[in-house]
């Protein structure tokens, strides 16, 4: 008898993406450009139209920069379908959840998908930055099929994917997910155990929070902090500009999840970060964060 964990796993051609914000749109784009049949779900028609506009704008930029031909653009657009009905995920072989970093909302999505997606071996994946995959897995009757596939922003540009497995994730799910990311999407995969923050954010978030505390204390300006890391450490972007790119709400949510699990004071959100999130100053996506992007 063939060992299904070691034999070549079947390819994944029908993908669902839940959420078409910054991350969801990027995930939908790379899947559609890889030739997959992609169904994108949003909560209402207006959100779906915004997502569609975001994707078309990305394709137009790619054509203008000679990264995509007009023919490739048309083919990629034809691979995308938008819906507001979660039931349209029924025939998908992989569904990737990419909604906001809220545990209750993500858990609800996984519970609903469990009752909708028909294939017994369909993979239910989350793009979560920090929420333990086990919590999402046990919201379903198939935790062995639940995995974290964490992309990085901007998804079409950055190669890295964190593959996060819970204690219940099967070897077959891991093999198929890795093949999907590496072979179909040409991503670089690193594996992580199921702990808040995974690999990258466990290192990155304390760094960003330290920069916020430094600015908050009046020790240095945002510009000087960022220039120090760019010019002194050869980082492509300073920590505060990076927080604006990630989204301050996402940064705070990851910090909260890590602090909840480890109770490490360095993971606690600085008051400045909390107040900025409350004020809706979330970074690039709202036009203002540590820097002003409105002009």
Active-site residue flag, 295: no
Given the residues 101, 103, 162, 172, select the one marked as catalytic: 162
**56: exposed, middle or buried (Cβ count in 10 Å: 0-12, 13-18, 19+):** middle
28 Cβ contact partners less than 8 Å away, ≥ 6 residues apart? 17, 20, 38, 40, 51, 55, 80
Active-site residue flag, 264: no
Given the residues 201, 256, 257, 269, select the one marked as catalytic: 201
Q: Which residue has the tokens 């995509």?
A: 68
Active-site residue flag, 150: yes
40 Cβ contact partners less than 8 Å away, ≥ 6 residues apart? 16, 17, 20, 24, 28, 48, 51, 80, 81, 82, 83
125's enclosing H/E stretch is: strand 123-126
Q: Is 122 in contact with 93 (CB distance < 8 Å)?
A: yes
Estimate the crossing angle of helix 222-233 against helix 239-246, to 10 degrees. 110
Active-site residue flag, 129: yes
Given the residues 79, 126, 127, 129, select the one marked as catalytic: 129
Q: Quick one: DSSP state of residue 253?
A: H
DSSP, collapsed to helix, strand or coil, labels residue 37 as strand
268-295 burial by CB neighbour count: b if 16+ within 10 A, else e?
Answer: bbbeebeebbeeebbbbbbebbbbeeee
DSSP, collapsed to helix, strand or coil, labels residue 165 as strand
Q: Which residues are catalytic?
A: 129, 150, 162, 201
């Amino acid at each position: 008898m063939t060992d299904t964990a070691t034999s070549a796993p079947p390819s994944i051609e029908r993908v669902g993406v839940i959420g078409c914000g910054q991350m969801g749109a990027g995930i939908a784009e790379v899947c559609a450009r890889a030739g997959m049949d992609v169904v994108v779900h949003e909560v209402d028609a207006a959100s779906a139209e915004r997502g569609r506009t975001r994707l078309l704008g990305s394709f137009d930029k790619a054509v203008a920069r000679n990264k995509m031909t007009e023919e490739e653009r048309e083919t990629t657009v034809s691979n995308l379908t938008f819906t507001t009905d979660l039931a349209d995920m029924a025939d998908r072989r992989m569904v990737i959840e990419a909604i906001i970093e809220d545990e209750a909302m993500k858990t609800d999505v996984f519970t609903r998908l469990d009752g909708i997606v028909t294939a017994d071996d369909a993979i239910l994946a989350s793009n979560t930055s920090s929420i333990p995959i086990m919590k999402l897995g046990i919201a379903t009757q198939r935790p062995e099929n639940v995995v974290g596939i964490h992309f990085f922003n901007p998804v079409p540009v950055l190669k890295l994917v964190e593959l996060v497995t819970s204690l219940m994730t099967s070897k077959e799910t891991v093999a198929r997910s890795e093949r999907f990311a590496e072979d179909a999407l040409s991503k670089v995969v690193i594996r992580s155990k199921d702990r808040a923050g995974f690999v990258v954010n466990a290192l990155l978030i304390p760094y960003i929070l330290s920069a916020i505390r430094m600015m908050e204390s009046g020790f240095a300006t945002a510009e000087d902090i960022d220039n120090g890391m760019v010019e002194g450490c050869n980082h492509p972007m300073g920590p505060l500009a990076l927080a604006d790119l990630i989204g301050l709400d996402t940064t705070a949510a990851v910090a909260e999840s890590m602090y909840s699990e480890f109770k490490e004071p360095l993971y606690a959100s600085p008051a400045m970060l909390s107040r900025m999130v409350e004020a809706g100053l979330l970074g690039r996506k709202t036009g203002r964060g540590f820097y002003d992007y409105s002009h």
